[in-house]
Each structure stands twice: as structure tokens, then as C-alpha cells.
Chains A and B, each alone.
Chain A
């Protein structure tokens, strides 16, 4: 079974600074997807960024980028120019690429606080 580990229960960053959230995972599969989701106080899950394992290039979405290290099974999220609206719980998630097995496995989450 796949597992996802987020070793940082809480992180804080000064507004406008850069922060990196860590995520490691364990799987025996070679093809899969990785995601970062944001859950603000409203508790609505919002997709921040996704990475296909077969792609070597790291995904980027505006101020959000990932460092995907397949061999190390590491998938960190970098948030640049942090904004107050970035304050939320961040969950790393894994999904198999096998058809019929689309369930997401989530890490335990990292609570990000933005310091004004």
C-alpha cells in the first residue's frame, strides 16, 4: 500500500518570503500522480499543483512550484512571495495511474501560517 508522509505539522513564513513544505511517499508503482492540496479555514479542498511521475520537469503554477525527486520519493512544495491568503492546511497526496484505482492517499498535512 502507498503511504504519504508530511514531517512538518506546522510551518510559518514571513509575508513575501519563500517557504518549502516537505512530502515523501512510498510506492512500488512506477507511474502515478502527486498532488498538493490546500485546505483553508472554509475546509474546501483546493488543488494547488499536480505532478505526473513520468514527467521529469517539475510542475509550476504561478508562485507555486514543486521539487519532484522520483528516486528519493520526495515531492516538496515551494511557495514564493508568500501572501496572507496562503495560510491554510496543505496536504500532499498520491494517486495511482492504474485505471480503476483513482483514490487519493493523503499525508497528515502541514499547517502554514503567514506572518504579516
Chain B
């Protein structure tokens, strides 16, 4: 089956630093990947849609200069949280769409803690 990996699984960083999270589709090519944010005991909120070779589309209220998304290949998308602050602490989940147009496969998530 389709597998999506994320790296790292958890990261702790100091306030003001930048953190990069990778999302990889391991056994399929993903022209579209999605980045979600999930606060404790809450639902998933879409942050942005990432298309290979083009700029990401951000949801309303998401700062594109703070959450940099790069989808450089058909199997890799990265989310960089720039100048992280404690309020950026959250669980970040990516998903990737395979050739089937109606299903996304999710990565295991990355827990970010900003001190």
C-alpha cells in the first residue's frame, strides 16, 4: 500500500530558530501534498496545498513567510517553520495524493516543541 513518511517524528528547538520537516511518499509519486496542523485534542486544520514544481497554496490565516513549503520532487515536500516561537508548538501532519484522485495517504506526523 501507499506509504508516507515524515522526518523527524519529533523535534525540540529554541525560540527563534528554524525547523525543517520532510514528507516523503515512499512507493508512489505524489504531485500534490498537503500540510496540516493539529493542536491537542483538536481536529486537523489544513495549512497549505503543495504541488510539485509550483508555489504552495496557503489557507487563509496561514503566514506563508513563516511556514515555507517546498515541493521539489514528486516524492518530497518540506515544511520549514522559520523563526519558531512557542505558539508554533504543535503536531504537523502531511498527506500525499497518489494517482487515485480520491484518496490521500497520511504521514505519521511530527511533534514540534519550541522552547
Contacts and interface: CB of A to CB of B under 8 A. Distances in A.
Interface of A: 33, 42-47, 50, 52, 91, 95, 97, 99, 102-109
Contacts of A91: 43-44
A99 B101 contact: yes
A33 B76 CA distance: 26
A39 to B, nearest CB: 9
Given A43-B109, A44-B108, A102-B97, A52 B43 contact: no
- Interface SS of B by simple majority: strand
Interface string B73-109: 0000000000000000001010101000111101011
Contacts of B106: 44-46
Contacts of A99: 101
A103 B42 contact: no
Contacts of A33: 102
Contacts, number: 47
Contacts of A107: 43
Contacts of A105: 46
Contacts of B42: 108-109
Contact of A44 (B45, B97, B102, B109): B109
How big is the B interface, by class?
A: 20 to 34
24 contacts: A42-B108, A43-B38, A43-B93, A44-B106, A44-B108, A44-B109, A45-B44, A45-B93, A45-B95, A45-B106, A46-B106, A52-B102, A91-B43, A95-B102, A102-B97, A103-B49, A104-B34, A104-B46, A104-B104, A105-B46, A106-B45, A107-B43, A108-B42, A109-B43
B45 to A, nearest CB: 8
A74 B54 CA distance: 36
B25 interface: no
Given A44-B106, A102-B101, A104-B44, 7 more contacts: A43-B91, A45-B95, A46-B106, A103-B46, A104-B46, A106-B43, A109-B42
Contacts of B104: 102, 104
B53 to A, nearest CB: 15
B34 to A, nearest CB: 6
A43 B108 contact: yes
